[in-house]
Amino acid sequence: MRLGVLDVGSNTVHLLVVDAHPGARPLPAHSHKAELRLAQLLDERGAIGPDGVDRLIAVIRDGLEAAEDKGVEDIVPFATSAVREATNADDVLARVKDDTGVELRVLTGEEEARLTFLAARRWFGWSAGKLLVLDIGGGSLEIAYGIDEEPDAAVSLPLGAGRLTAAWLPGDPADPADIKALRRHVRAQIARTVGEFSRFGSPDHVVATSKTFKQLARLAGAARSTEGLYIQRELKRKSLEDWVPRLAAMTEAERAELPGVSEGRAGQLLAGALVAEGAMDLFGVETLEVCPWALREGVILRHLDHMPTG
């Protein structure tokens, strides 16, 4: 069957269309996305304003049209931290349902971490052993650890690259004092969680998902996305530590000229790099492997798991 997953994230609204059925690997057929940056549309009360809701509804309608054009039989819609943390989330969800017919399921941060972990586990397989999975989104950082498909520990921290950029790094280029303050904040937040994971022992593989890690790995020399999903891509902490001061000295426009960095993500790449560097340092990670699958694939896999096979 042709299945669509509609992801209302902090940065983008992304429709991923796959050909899938229970027990089989989902094959991507189409991708439709729009940059909305919901996390940056919150007003001083933490609410998504009328203009933001109107734009969200318009983008969802575009996604539904794309899904229909591509012959999608079933759509799984969900939202993450930007909607979850909006003070008017219930009103936004009701308006979306009234105007589009889409009933968004709002994932908790822990659910995000668990579903992302599921995607990584299915991608790497049982032979990968114990996995530590890191995912940097626009609004939050997810961390999960385990040996099975359900992680033994899963947490979500408010350390998304978009959120941190808007709150901590107003300058272009960023002010060194602001960068230092953000670095201190990021590491204090991550350090509080390290003990929860270290009691399980060292992981056999450390895995990273998300656009931020893919871009950082590309900067450090990993293969281009055009070379395919199945080429192993890694990010070494030493390479990342070399890149952080270079990114800090650049303007947003200069970062957008770097290989693998999209114009829409260039502004938040420094904050994402500080989170990635802090996580790798505090968890004692020298090298991590980049996983092509992430939250959207985890949602698809869980949906397929609950479909009848007969």
E-assigned strand segments in the chain: 2-8, 12-19, 27-35, 74-79, 105-106, 131-136, 141-146, 153-157, 205-209, 234-236, 287-290
Lowest mean pLDDT among 44-48, 154-158, 178-182, 295-299: 44-48
Q: Which domains does the chain have, with CATH numbers?
A: 2-106 (3.30.420.40), 109-296 (3.30.420.150)
Cα gap 215→265, rounded to integer Å: 9
Tens-place pLDDT, residues 270-292: 999 999 999 999 999 999 999 99
Could you give the 3-state DSSP secondary structure of residue 173?
A: coil
Residue type, 71: G
pTM: 0.95
Q: What average pLDDT does range 182-203 have in this prediction?
A: 96
- H or E segment and range at residue 37: none
N-terminal to C-terminal alpha carbon distance within the chain = 14
Tens-place pLDDT, residues 80-103: 999 999 999 999 999 999 999 999
Cα gap 40→46, rounded to integer Å: 10
